[in-house]
Amino acid sequence: MLTKLKRFSPGNLYKTVQDAAHKPKAMWICCLISFCESSFFPIPPDVMMIPMILAHRAIAFRLAIYASISSVLGGFLGYYIGYSLFETVGQWIVETYHMQDALVKFQDDFSKYGFWIIALKGLTPIPFKLVTIASGIARFDLVQFTIAATIARTFRFTLLSSLLWWLGPIAKPLLEKHMKWVMVLTMLGIVLGFVIVKYIYH
Domain locations in the chain as residue ranges: 15-200
Q: Which of 61, 62, 63 is nearest to 45 (CA)?
A: 63
Distance CA 161, CA 146 (A): 22
Q: Under a CB-based contact definition with an 8 Å cutoff, are residues 26 and 52 in contact?
A: yes
pLDDT of residue 130: 83
pLDDT of residue 150: 95
Q: Under a CB-based contact definition with an 8 Å cutoff, are residues 123 and 155 in contact?
A: yes
- Which DSSP string do the residues of 128-162 spell out, in sequence order? HHHHHHHHHHTT--HHHHHHHHHHHHHHHHHHHHH
pLDDT of residue 31: 93
pLDDT of residue 146: 95
pTM over 0.85: no
Q: Under a CB-based contact definition with an 8 Å cutoff, are residues 173 and 54 in contact?
A: no
Distance CA 100, CA 187 (A): 22
Ranges of the chain whose pLDDT falls below 50: 1-11, 194, 200
Distance CA 22, CA 13 (A): 15
Q: Under a CB-based contact definition with an 8 Å cutoff, are residues 67 and 34 in contact?
A: yes
The CA dihedral of 5, 182, 190, 124, to the nearest 10 degrees, is -170
